Amino acid sequence: MLRKRMNLLRNRIEGEFVPLAVLIWFVFILLFIVGFSGIGFGQTIELKAPPAYVNDGDTFEIDLNGNGRLDFPQERVRLLYVDTPELSKSKKGKDLQFGLPARKFLTKILSKPPLQLVTPPGRSVGNYGRTLAVVRVGGVEVNLELVRLGHSPFDTRFSFPSAYDLYAQAEAEAFQARRGIWSQAKSRSKYLTRLKRSGKTPRASGNKLFLDRIKTPSQVLRSEPTGKFVNLHARLVARKKLGNGAWALTVQDMKGSKGLRVFVSGRQEQKLETQSWPPKAVIQMDGFVQRYKNRLEVKLHYGRVAE
């Protein structure tokens, strides 16, 4: 009888108190996350101390909430719009020749606080739980400077900066001047191939993949520069919804011309939201020219409504 009562009591505890323990644990984790970061979307944080450790040219560890310790992975910061060479083995390959100078630059510039850390609207946490940010030191945007000095390509795989053209110009400047990763033919070829897979290439006159002279839809249709990257100024005249979140846009010259099809993949649509572009809007856009069903089109990489 005593054993039976003990079993009933144990079942009651397991039935009522274990879920309570789970609930308490969940609340604790939630409070930890909220209490930790104070890091939200589009937020700016002023930091008066340098990083505790610089991992490589685009990642560092720093006490963001001032509690005197490093809480991982949230207090590991990954710089946006850059992807510096790896210092350890990875699927992208280990590259000490250009990776070490990138880390040296980042270490030096971050050693002069105060630092201003800005998280982007909509997404402040990366795939590995790291804080995604743009960092400014003494009026210098560190992410942009990494691109301008050739320590990194302009990386747009996950999002676009509001100052897209500044980053594109910085990358073109570094490419043209043969700085850093662009200084040697082998490295140049590697990064051009990698960027092309993501749908872009440096908008530099010395880059054979980019055609600076092509600036309008009619010039694309006349020249048929298949496989080349172009930067166009055009007017949006039509759009059509395709499958898997993709869209087909039609653009023309400002004074009218034959329409040029622009393909927007589902992934790019999520980032650019071309559906929000008003009818007849003037668009600044870039992308690779390709053929689809024996007709020319531009596969959109980036676009915005021109001011």
pLDDT reported for residue 39: 54
Asked whether the domain spanning 217-305 has the same topology as the one spanning 44-197, the reply is yes
Query: CA-CA distance, 229 to 143, in Å (whole number)?
Result: 24
pLDDT reported for residue 90: 78
pLDDT reported for residue 14: 42
CATH-assigned architecture of domain 217-305: Beta Barrel (2.40)
* pTM of the predicted structure, to 2 decimals: 0.85
Q: Where are the domains of the chain?
A: 44-197, 217-305
pLDDT reported for residue 152: 98
Query: CA-CA distance, 67 to 54, in Å (whole number)?
Result: 19
pLDDT reported for residue 33: 40
pLDDT reported for residue 123: 66
pLDDT reported for residue 93: 81
- Please, what are the averages of pLDDT over each run of 10 residues along the chain (307 residues)? 44 42 38 42 87 97 92 94 92 90 98 93 82 95 98 95 97 98 97 97 97 96 97 97 97 93 97 96 98 95 93
Q: If you classify domain 44-197 with CATH, what class do you get?
A: mainly beta
Sorted by sequence, the CB contacts under 8 Å of residue 105 that are 6+ apart come out as 57, 145, 146, 149, 151
pLDDT reported for residue 124: 81
Which among 140, 129, 130, 174 is positioned nearest to 154, based on CA atoms?
Answer: 174
Which among 117, 109, 110 is positioned nearest to 37, based on CA atoms?
Answer: 117
